[in-house]
């Protein structure tokens, strides 16, 4: 770097961006926190107003501070005592309040080191971030913490196709008895079904995903981690999977997954391209439903919908989506064979984040100019171990970092608070070095 870092532009004001700004302030570095709305600290995950949307991680692991693991639980005890159980799963909107409180506390204790700016980022220059209204935010370094983008599977311009389920008011037009089609059977689907029932919906939902897998639930009590065996950590992916199944059958699959959790990012970093490709092609769907589990209470909710016949799940691929004023038709195939179309009044796209760095107005120009490059599997921008963006020639950019979900190409696990918390410390260390 040409000189000491004194001001960092943080693009994205959700959990990752807000908590990075707080930690930088505590390290004596100023930052400009840029967000599309004035709801700093929330992002998509914690902006939900629905009380039934719970955290997917126990409260004891949700501290924003790496050196104070009980920070969130203590905050709950003082501010939301009804949810202060360290083994419980607090509402996400309560966690959003915690994040906002943490940022405000640092701003009050160390005034002048965090500036909040509401605006849409249009581009990244060598020494500034340019906003869509022409404003320029001068910066010695930039950190992209843009979170998860909306899904991109379903479109077509019909109001009956809800391509962004998290858009404000997206579900309001769905009637109490309406039949709903859902593409994607992961965590977003679970959230949408909860929100629908919370607004009085009593209809049926038909859900489609490539393998028809549903998220697994946490046990009622925390699961002790089972240490991975050497055979789980080295060798061909198929052999490692066999070894993992042996441990899961003996000690329990939750315990096996808990044992892998602390070393997942390291295993991904050490994996060669062929192994990573195999993980994406064969393992990822199974990994997601076992690793990113739902609270036990939410698991009971999904089981009830299945038992009542209000939720049915099929495995296959989307062939086409057509919609008119009367409803939506979903054509799909399974093993190359066309199936009877699914029909409903609405279709909700729950396929997960539609990451497309090359088409993004912020990262697209960085790729085109050679200041960034895509990883070989096109998961996202290539980064070094500290989160620095790699140029087209492979050199690390000392002034450009990525943090949070967009960093998945480098770290794989980049969405859970414990993982993001560690990445924040790495970025702060790099910026203060």
Does residue 57 lie in a domain region? yes
For helices 187-198 and 296-307, angle between their N-to-C axes, nearest 10 degrees: 70
224 in a structural domain: no
Tell me the residue range of the domain where 246 lies. 230-291
- pLDDT for residue 174 is more than 90: yes
Percent of the chain scoring above 70 in pLDDT: 99
- Whether 221 is in a domain gets the answer no
Predicted pLDDT at 367:
95
CATH value at residue 310? 3.50.50.60
Please check whether residue 331 lies inside any domain of the structure: yes
Task: Give the pLDDT of residue 2.
Answer: 53
pLDDT digit string (tens) for 229-265?
999 999 999 999 999 999 999 999 999 999 999 999 9
The pLDDT, as a whole number, for residue 433 is 83
Are 109 and 17 found together in one domain? yes
Whether residue 368 is found in the same domain as residue 267: no
Q: Are residues 287 and 305 in the same domain?
A: no
Residue 316 belongs to some domain of the structure: yes
pTM comes to 0.94
302 and 283 co-located in one domain:
no
User: Average pLDDT, stretch 135-150?
Assistant: 92
Q: How many CB atoms lie within 10 A of CB 398?
A: 17
Q: Where are the beta strands (DSSP E) in 316-384?
A: 317-324, 327-334, 337-338, 342-344, 346-349
Residue 1 has pLDDT above 50, yes or no: no
Give dist(CA 393, CA 122) in Å, integer.
25
358 and 336 in a common domain: no
State the pLDDT at residue 156. 58
Residues 303 and 282 grouped into a single domain? no
Q: Rounded to an integer, what distance in angstroms lies between the CA atom of residue 380 and that of residue 124?
A: 17
Q: Are residues 393 and 413 in the same domain?
A: yes
Arithmetic mean of pLDDT, 339-348: 97
For residues 182 and 317, state if they share a domain.
yes
Considering the domain architecture, whether residues 46 and 111 belong to the same structural domain is answered as yes
Q: Among 1-15, 23-37, 276-290, which is the least confidently predicted range?
A: 1-15
| Maximum Cα–Cα distance across the chain | 64
pLDDT the model gives residue 430? 95
Per-residue pLDDT at 357: 87
Statement to judge: residues 326 and 203 lie in one domain: yes
> Residue 34 has which token pair?
């840029």
Counting the structural domains of the chain, the total is 3
Residue 83 vs residues 32, 46, 79, 94, 102: alpha-carbon distances, Å: 33, 16, 9, 9, 18
Q: Is residue 170 part of a domain?
A: yes
**pLDDT per position as a tens digit, 186-219:** 999 999 999 999 999 999 999 999 999 999 999 9
Question: In the predicted model, what is the mean pLDDT of residues 354-369?
Answer: 89
Same domain, 200 and 317: yes
What does the alpha-carbon distance between residue 221 and residue 112 come to, in Å, rounded to a whole number?
43
Q: What is the pLDDT of residues 79-104, one digit of tens each?
A: 999 999 999 999 999 999 999 999 99
Last residue of a domain, one of 301, 331, 349: 349
Average pLDDT across the chain, whole number: 94
Q: Is residue 154 part of a domain?
A: no
Task: Please indicate, yes or no, if residue 251 is contained in any of the structural domains.
Answer: yes
Q: pLDDT by residue (tens digit) across 366-389?
A: 999 999 999 999 999 999 999 999
Domain limit, last residue, from 272, 291, 310: 291
181 and 302 belong to one structural domain? yes
């Amino acid at each position: 770097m040409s000189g000491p870092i004194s001001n960092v532009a943080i693009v994205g004001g959700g959990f990752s961006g807000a908590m990075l700004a707080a930690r930088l302030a505590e390290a004596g570095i100023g930052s400009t926190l840029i967000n599309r709305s004035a709801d700093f600290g929330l992002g998509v995950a914690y902006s939900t107003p629905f009380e039934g949307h719970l955290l997917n991680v126990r409260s004891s692991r949700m501290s924003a501070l790496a050196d104070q693991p009980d920070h969130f639980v203590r905050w709950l005890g003082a501010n939301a005592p009804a949810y202060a159980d360290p083994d419980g799963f607090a509402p996400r909107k309560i966690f959003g309040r915690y994040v906002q409180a943490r940022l405000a506390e640092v701003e009050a204790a160390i005034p002048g080191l965090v500036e909040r700016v509401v605006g849409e980022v249009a581009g990244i220059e060598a020494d500034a971030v340019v906003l869509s209204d022409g404003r320029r935010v001068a910066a010695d370094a930039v950190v992209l913490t843009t979170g998860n983008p909306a899904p991109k599977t379903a479109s077509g311009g019909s109001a009956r196709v809800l391509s962004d389920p998290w858009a404000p008011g997206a579900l309001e037009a769905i009637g109490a008895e309406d039949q709903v089609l859902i593409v994607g059977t992961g965590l977003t689907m679970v959230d949408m079904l909860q929100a629908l029932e919370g607004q009085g919906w009593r209809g049926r939902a038909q859900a489609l995903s490539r393998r028809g897998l549903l998220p697994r639930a946490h046990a009622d009590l925390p699961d002790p981690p089972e240490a991975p065996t050497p055979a789980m950590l080295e060798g061909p992916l198929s052999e490692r999977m066999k070894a993992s199944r042996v441990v899961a059958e003996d000690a329990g699959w939750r315990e096996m997954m808990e044992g892998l959790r602390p070393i997942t990012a390291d295993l991904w970093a050490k994996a060669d391209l062929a192994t990573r490709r195999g993980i994406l092609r064969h393992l990822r769907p199974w990994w997601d439903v076992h690793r990113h589990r739902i609270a036990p209470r939410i698991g009971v909710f999904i089981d009830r919908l299945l038992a009542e016949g209000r939720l049915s799940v099929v495995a296959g691929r989307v062939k086409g989506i057509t919609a008119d004023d009367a409803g939506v038709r979903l054509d799909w195939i399974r093993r190359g064979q066309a199936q009877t179309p699914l029909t409903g009044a609405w279709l909700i796209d729950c396929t997960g984040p539609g990451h497309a760095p090359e088409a993004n107005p912020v990262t697209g120009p960085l790729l085109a100019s050679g200041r960034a490059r895509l990883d070989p599997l096109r998961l996202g921008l290539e980064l070094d171990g500290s989160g620095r963006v790699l140029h087209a020639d492979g050199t690390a950019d000392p002034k450009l970092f990525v943090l949070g979900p967009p960093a998945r190409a480098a770290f794989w696990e980049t969405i859970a608070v414990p993982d993001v918390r560690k990445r924040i410390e790495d970025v702060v260390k790099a910026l203060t070095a």
